[in-house]
Structure 1
Amino acid sequence: MFVLVNLKAYPCDAVAVAEAAATVADDTGARIAVAPQAAHIEPVAETGVETWAQHVSSSGHGSHTGSTLAPAVADAGATGALLNHSERRLKLADIDGSLRAAEDTGLDTIVCANNPRQVAAAATLGPDMVAVEPPELIGSGTPVSRADPDIVRDAVAAADEVNPPVPVLCGAGITSGDDVEAAADLGSEGVLLASGVAKADDPEEVLRDLVSGI
Structure 2
Amino acid sequence: MFVLVNLKAYPCDPVEVAEAAHEVAEESGVRVAVAPQAADLRAVAETGVETWAQHVDPLAHGSHTGSTLAERVADAGADGTLLNHSERRLKLAEIDGSLSAAERVGLDTVVCANNPEQVAAAAALGPDAVAVEPPELIGTGTPVSKADPDVVTDAVEAAAAVDDSVDVYCGAGISTGDDVESAAELGATGVLLASGVAKADDPKAALEDLVEPL
- TMscore range, shorter length: over 0.9
Q: For residues 17-70 of structure 1, give each alpha carbon's deviation from its aligned partner in whole angstroms, at most 9, with x where no partner exists.
A: 000000000001110000000000000000000000000000111100011000
Amino acid at match of 2:148: D
Instruction: Provide the TM-score with structure 1 as the length reference.
Output: 1.00
CA displacement at 1:101 relative to structure 2: 0.2
Aligned length: 214
SS in 2 for 1:112: strand
Structure 2 gaps, min length 5: none
Q: Hey, what does 1:109 align to over in structure 2?
A: 109
CA displacement at 1:86 relative to structure 2: 0.2
SS in 1 for 2:78: coil
Equivalences for residues 125-204 of structure 1 within 5 A? 125-204=125-204
Amino acid at match of 2:51: T
Q: Hey, what does 1:28 align to over in structure 2?
A: 28
Q: For residues 137-178 of structure 1, give each alpha carbon's deviation from its aligned partner in whole angstroms, at most 9, with x where no partner exists.
A: 000000000000000000000000000110100000000000
CA displacement at 1:85 relative to structure 2: 0.2
Identity %: 75
Q: Hey, what does 1:210 align to over in structure 2?
A: 210
Q: Hey, what does 1:60 align to over in structure 2?
A: 60
CA displacement at 1:119 relative to structure 2: 0.1
CA displacement at 1:120 relative to structure 2: 0.2
Give, in whole Å, the separation in 2 of the partners of 1:145 and 1:59: 35
Q: For residues 62-84 of structure 1, give each alpha carbon's deviation from its aligned partner in whole angstroms, at most 9, with x where no partner exists.
A: 10001100000000000100000
SS in 2 for 1:111: strand
CA displacement at 1:193 relative to structure 2: 0.2
Q: Hey, what does 2:16 align to over in structure 1?
A: 16
Q: For residues 180-207 of structure 1, give each alpha carbon's deviation from its aligned partner in whole angstroms, at most 9, with x where no partner exists.
A: 0000000000000000000000000000
SS in 1 for 2:48: coil
Structure 1 residue runs of 4 or more that deviate by more than 2 Å after TM superposition: none
- Give the CA RMSD over aligned residues: 0.3
Give, in whole Å, the separation in 1 of the partners of 2:126 and 2:32: 22
